[in-house]
């Protein structure tokens, strides 16, 4: 089934290009999970956010130096690098880039797209607090987004279609959740990397096809015979896990660890909350995408996310946490400093902090640190002590 999905993903850029020639608009979405793609789906445009979820490679970072200062988050710099390299067709076919502004790094990325590229950018703000007026602000932003999408696609959002779109997206979320939950078992039938790649596929694949694939994959995984006991169970968390940024996963898995759950604000489709349609569809979207969504480290306070990580660590019975963040993502850097103590106090678990600038020279250093961390867990040195390694 995975081969069939891969084949679809390989063909998808060309398919999108053809559809675009036939008048379909391609909407790019900055990652972060604050853009209800259902709105795009319901107005006939193709929703693709994959154009801005690629990362992990050094070349775009080097290339971005002419456009954006080094001191902006690695992933955000990579996006302008990919666009200016002109090598990825997905970065070339976007008719409108929607950027929910969460922090200054994302804003800097939007500024660069506005100034250096011919892609129109539409921004709307994601408040950093969960208060009534913040929810109202976010909901108003969705109405502005609706107007913009209708203008770009020249078609009105059909409310009955929006309800159907929500059903499809909810189903996709449910399936991702069910697949992910299989990893609560002692011997997970799917690896962390396989799950993340599946999640990443949902940013590009045609939605109905993706749902069908996920249903089949779930069936396959349920029927799969349990494997043998594997190494330490790891929770992987951080700011962004981009498509292609798999080095940490590869190293962890080759060192004998298994990533059984992830928490990333950007780069993964958030699947734990469903849209619950009520009297007002926009209120329902805002409730799911803002109010109930666990916010990133740029939330103030960011405690909700930290508590959620602890909850996941317990639910998935992990042996350690790896905090993987990208360089210069300031909000995560602040939290990282004190989270290891909170984690230790609440769970006794050890935490390893890794940072990346998508530089190939990092790999050997990261490998050594991961090997030590995994070996330490295996020997049970930190079973009682916890804390940062």
Binding site for other proteins (CB under 8 A): 67-69, 71-72, 101, 103-105, 107-108, 111-112, 114-115, 121-129, 131, 133-134, 137, 140-141, 297-298, 300-302, 327-328, 330-331, 333-335, 337-338, 355
CA atoms in the 13 A half-sphere facing the CB of 213: 19
CA distances from 286 to 136, 180, 225 (A): 9, 25, 41
Please report how close the Cβ of residue 326 comes to other proteins at its closest, in angstroms.
11
With respect to other proteins, which residue has the nearer C-beta, 41 or 355? Answer: 355
Report the nearest approach of other proteins to the CB of residue 29 (Å): 15
Of the two residues 82 and 122, which places its CB atom closer to other proteins in the complex? 122
User: Distance between CA 305 and CA 326 in Å, rounded?
Assistant: 18
Nearer to other proteins, 138 or 203 (CB): 138
Going by C-alpha positions, the residue among 242, 295, 297, 300 that lies closest to residue 268 is 242
Q: How far is the CB of 369 from other proteins (least distance, A)?
A: 17
> Among residues 4 and 70, whose Cβ is nearest to other proteins?
70
Query: What's the min distance (Å) between Cβ of 331 and other proteins?
Result: 5
CB of 201 to other proteins, least distance (A): 30
CB of 16 to other proteins, least distance (A): 26
Q: Considering the complex, state which of residue 24 and residue 119 has its C-beta at the smaller distance from other proteins.
A: 119
Choice between 126 and 261, CB closer to other proteins: 126
Least distance CB 301 / other proteins (angstroms): 5
For residue 84, the minimal CB distance to other proteins (Å) is 13
Residue closer to other proteins by CB (options 92, 114) is 114
Name the minimum Å distance from CB 304 to other proteins.
Answer: 12
Q: What are phi and psi of 256, to 5 degrees?
A: 95, 5
Closer residue to other proteins (CB): 117 or 272:
117
CA angle (343 as vertex; 371, 104 as ends), nearest 5: 90
Residue 101 or 363: the one with the smaller Cβ distance to other proteins is 101
Nearest to 300 by CA among 161, 132, 128: 128
């Amino acid at each position: 089934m995975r081969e069939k999905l891969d084949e679809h993903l390989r063909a998808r850029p060309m398919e999108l290009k053809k559809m675009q020639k036939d008048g379909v608009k391609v909407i790019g979405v900055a990652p972060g999970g604050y853009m209800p793609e259902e709105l795009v789906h319901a107005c006939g445009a193709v929703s693709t956010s994959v154009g801005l979820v690629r990362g992990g490679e050094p070349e775009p970072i080097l290339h971005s130096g002419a456009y954006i200062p080094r001191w902006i988050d690695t992933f955000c710099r990579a996006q302008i690098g990919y666009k200016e390299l002109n090598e990825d067709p997905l970065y070339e076919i976007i008719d409108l880039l929607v950027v929910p502004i969460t922090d200054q790094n994302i804003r800097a990325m939007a500024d660069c797209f506005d100034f250096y590229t011919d892609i129109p950018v539409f921004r709307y703000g994601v408040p950093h607090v969960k208060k009534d007026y913040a929810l109202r602000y976010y909901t108003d932003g969705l109405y502005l987004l609706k107007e913009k999408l209708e203008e770009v696609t020249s078609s009105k959002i059909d409310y009955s279609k929006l309800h159907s779109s929500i059903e499809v997206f909810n189903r996709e979320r449910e399936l991702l959740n069910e697949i992910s939950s299989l990893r609560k078992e002692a011997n997970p039938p799917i690896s962390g990397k396989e799950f993340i790649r599946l999640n990443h596929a949902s940013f590009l694949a045609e939605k109905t096809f993706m749902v069908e694939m996920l249903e089949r994959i779930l069936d396959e995984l349920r029927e799969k015979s349990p494997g043998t006991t594997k190494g330490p169970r790891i929770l992987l968390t951080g700011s962004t896990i981009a498509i292609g940024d798999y080095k940490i996963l590869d190293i962890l898995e080759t060192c004998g660890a298994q990533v059984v759950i992830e928490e990333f604000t950007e780069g993964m489709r958030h699947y734990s909350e469903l849209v619950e349609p009520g009297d007002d569809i926009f209120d329902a979207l805002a409730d799911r995408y803002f109010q109930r969504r666990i916010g990133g480290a740029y939330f103030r306070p960011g405690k909700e996310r930290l508590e959620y990580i602890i909850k996941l660590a317990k639910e998935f019975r992990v042996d350690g946490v790896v905090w993987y963040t990208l360089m210069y993502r300031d909000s995560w850097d602040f939290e990282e400093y004190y989270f290891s103590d909170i984690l230790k106090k609440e769970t006794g678990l050890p935490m390893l902090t890794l940072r990346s600038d998508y530089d190939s020279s990092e790999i050997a250093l990261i490998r050594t640190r991961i090997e030590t961390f995994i070996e330490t867990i295996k020997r049970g040195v930190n079973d009682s002590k916890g804390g940062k390694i």
